[in-house]
Structure 1
């Protein structure tokens, strides 16, 4: 195994750990990086590893939240009071918000993965949804916390998360933008976005893992897909560490800063993506 492969796995892990959780679109970055590194043939295997890494990061950072939510949900079922307190309501809102993205992923995931991988798509979506994020934050009153979340909020945010299947949209970007448009404060919007992304990212990793298992079921005597476990481990570990640190510092950043730098970055990266497209399409 060449050292350059290890370096490439580390690069992909860092890119996934940062861009999956920041509002800049992991899919757009991974498409560009795969193109630059020439690693497109190994995409499915490494996508599984990288999703495992970011799933581990989110679960590790919010493990107390998830334990509290699970405990309160079980108590609510036993007591027949699912909406008895703020934690139980939040758990129900997360379930409602997860359903649209889960349904869209199952119904459209393969089609989008097959037909929407062109570099031109994120060129437009990076700019368009960056502008949406800018105006959502600028016009938001931000006078509502998670305790004031409603069924309508969770449904709208969940529906918007389904759009994140399109490269360049960004799961955290679109859900935070929608929450801001609903006048939820920036920190609460980010926390709800991360909690809402947990089952979706975990589910996406499991779905891609299932596709990998099916691909490995080859007829007797036929070579199956080569899986380089060390590279997968390096990519997953790098994504997990990077993702955990990213969540910590992003939430701290939002306490005193706006999302405008990420909007500017999205526009700049759209230009980079266009340049890569023009260069590699010749």
Structure 2
């Protein structure tokens, strides 16, 4: 029966991951209903997210390859500038330094790197609190309601602008990264917070969604490495480990089928409708807590 339960969780996670409705909140509510505990920490949730991340890598491999090339190029330019600095100091020369950020893709890559700094700090320091919150049935319900309020306010405020990667600022990338770091708690939608933050910073909806999708990848991988030690916990068996990996594969496969559709919905559907959904599921989650 546990295999059926995990397949259900994998499908729900894959479908909701890139919608502003908190896939983590859905998982915690369903796990409570199915009687699945967190004896292995948040390893199951992280593995399911890893499956969705693999689907993103497969579907957007060309864009990610360009980002990887630009990241390597920036690193090499930084090393080159350091060598020039040392050379100029030793010889008294005044050789010009290479410009680190050039072109749209390199600017996009730089924004992703900047956004990950607060995400890593907040995610690492808040992961234990996130585990405690995942075991409290009331927390996902409250998280859904808070997400709904933020989505509704952003929609009614008609936030958003025309900014793309060229006009984007590094301080706004930092704020978006902070929002992603705060979304470790179940019910608080990572996509919802980062999307609203980007729109409030004046970004256009298409770029805001795209930025949120790509910035999730290093966060998911980082979360996996913080939880991988739970494979050695007393609750983990060889059979359960294989089931977890199978659920990850299911999440990746379902993600390949639905991610483009859900990303398109996040770009075009009015945020108020996601807010109404978050209110509804939040009320249901709170009601189940008192049943």
- Tell me the TM-score normalised to structure 1 length: 0.87
Structure 1 distance, partners of 2:266, 2:125, is 34
Structure 1 distance, partners of 2:44, 2:265, is 30
Q: Decide whether the 8 Å contact of 2:133 with 2:185 is kept in 1.
A: no
Measure how far apart 1:41 and its partner are: 4.9
What is the 5 A alignment of 1:1-282? 4-41=1-38, 43-44=40-41, 45-79=43-77, 80-115=98-133, 117-139=135-157, 140-213=159-232, 215=233, 225-228=236-239, 229-279=241-291
* Cα deviation 1:72-120 (Å, max 9, x = unaligned): 2222333443211111111111111011111112112113312563122
Larger radius of gyration: 2
Secondary structure in structure 2 of the residue aligned to 1:148: coil
Q: Decide whether the 8 Å contact of 2:38 with 2:135 is kept in 1.
A: no
Measure how far apart 1:138 and its partner are: 3.4
* Cα deviation 1:25-62 (Å, max 9, x = unaligned): 12211111111111115554523431331221222222
Q: Decide whether the 8 Å contact of 2:46 with 2:220 is kept in 1.
A: no
Q: Decide whether the 8 Å contact of 1:22 with 1:246 is kept in 2.
A: no
Measure how far apart 1:150 and its partner are: 1.0
**Where do 4+ consecutive residues of structure 1 move more than 4 Å?**
none
Q: Compare 171-180 and 132-141 and name the one that shifted more.
A: 132-141
Structure 1 distance, partners of 2:149, 2:110, is 31
Superposed CA RMSD: 2.0
Structure 2 distance, partners of 1:126, 1:86, is 35
Q: Decide whether the 8 Å contact of 1:187 with 1:251 is kept in 2.
A: no
Secondary structure in structure 2 of the residue aligned to 1:40: coil
